[in-house]
Amino acid sequence: MTVSPPPTTPSATAPASALPAGHPLVDGRTAGAPLLAAYRGRRPDRRPVWFMRQAGRSLPEYREVRRGIGMLESCLQPDLAAEITLQPVRRHRVDAAILFSDIVVPLKLAGVDVEIVAGTGPVVASPVRTAADVAALPPLDPDALAPVAAEAAAVVAELGGTPLIGFAGAPFTLASYLVEGGPSKDHRRTKTLMHAAPQVWHALAAWTAGVTTAFLRAQVLAGASAVQVFDSWAGALSRPDYQAFVAEHSAAVFAGVADLGVPRVHFGVGTGELLTAMRDVGADVLGIDHRVPLDVATARLGGGVPVQGNIDPALLFAGERALHEHTLDVIRRGAAAPGHVLNLGHGVPPDTDPGVLTELVEFIHAQPGT
């Protein structure tokens, strides 16, 4: 099934010298997409919207195709992962697909023993906490990225003029998983390593930055028209710690894909105090979670940065009237930025009624563009 292309806007082409000839930005398929226009600080006729975690447990078709198949296995079966990536575009008519993956997939591809445990999340068999542990981390074989590239290419072949967004976790979040051995509420081991053994920490973060960069480049070269870097745990850091221990490694990732000319989105949870620091590492667009109003975030950013967000996911359960009123407020506040892509302030909760998301997309698309 081919997804219909979005309405076109004036061309929003990006530098494409490093992209292959068949890339959607080079051959023009996604050049007029509303999403990319907004990411580049323009105001398209149609308001673009997509949702973080739009492909997942909220969709019955997702649960059906994933039955009996583990999460990481699902991410690394190109045909299955491509089908999952496309499901929300078909159902909700959102303005972008985002590659179905998981933050720890590049760690798995590099040879790290990591599994996703039901009810817990990613668990690393041998946490990385010493210089010897870092030195033992395997290099990422470029050939290991073949399933990721195949998934992206299969999705792009079906999307037509709808852009694919590449997905990756930020170096800090990946490194923290490795240090903690799994999810953490206080990231105590991570912060201890930063301050007690900064050389070890920086070596580890440089390794995760390299893995993340390779992961993103494979997706863009296979057809992704934008990328989003998720720093899921950065909100646990103070601004001084972010700048001292994280910024240079995130900057390496954004610099590592700069030659590809695609918009680069940076999103973190609970990062209202870090917005300018996250911008300064090289992001073109800032994803804003639901804790900071978009006009406030835009003022903090100096008014020159396109934003993405930030509908509160809890309002998906509050009824149509409350959700619509809240969404209109988000749109009004987003007008302060040079460009605005509607999204949630975090991911789609698993128990969300898919019909609510479909209706919300229709409501957003019905609002006049500016």
pLDDT digits (tens, 9 = 90+) for 292-301: 999 999 999 9
Model pLDDT, residue 12: 33
Rounded to the nearest 10 degrees, the angle between the axes of helix 247-256 and helix 198-221 is 20
pLDDT digits (tens, 9 = 90+) for 249-294: 999 999 999 999 999 999 999 999 999 999 999 999 999 999 999 9
- Cα–Cα distance measured from residue 364 to residue 204, given in angstroms and rounded to the nearest whole number: 42
What residues are annotated to the active site? 53, 57, 66, 102, 177
Model pLDDT, residue 9: 31
Model pLDDT, residue 17: 64
CATH number of 42-366: 3.20.20.210
Residue 3 has pLDDT above 70, yes or no: no
Q: Which residue is listed with tokens 């563009």?
A: 369
For residue 6, what pLDDT band results from cuts at 50, 70 and 90?
very low
The count of other CB atoms within 10 Å of the CB of residue 239 is 14
pLDDT digits (tens, 9 = 90+) for 39-81: 999 999 999 999 999 999 999 999 999 999 999 999 999 999 9
In the chain the first and final C-alpha atoms are separated, in Å, by 32
Residues contacting residue 168 through CB under 8 Å, at least 6 positions apart: 103, 106, 212, 215, 216, 219, 227, 228, 229, 230, 253
Q: How far is CA 123 from CA 25, 75, 118, 120, in A?
A: 37, 16, 10, 8
The pTM of this model reads 0.94
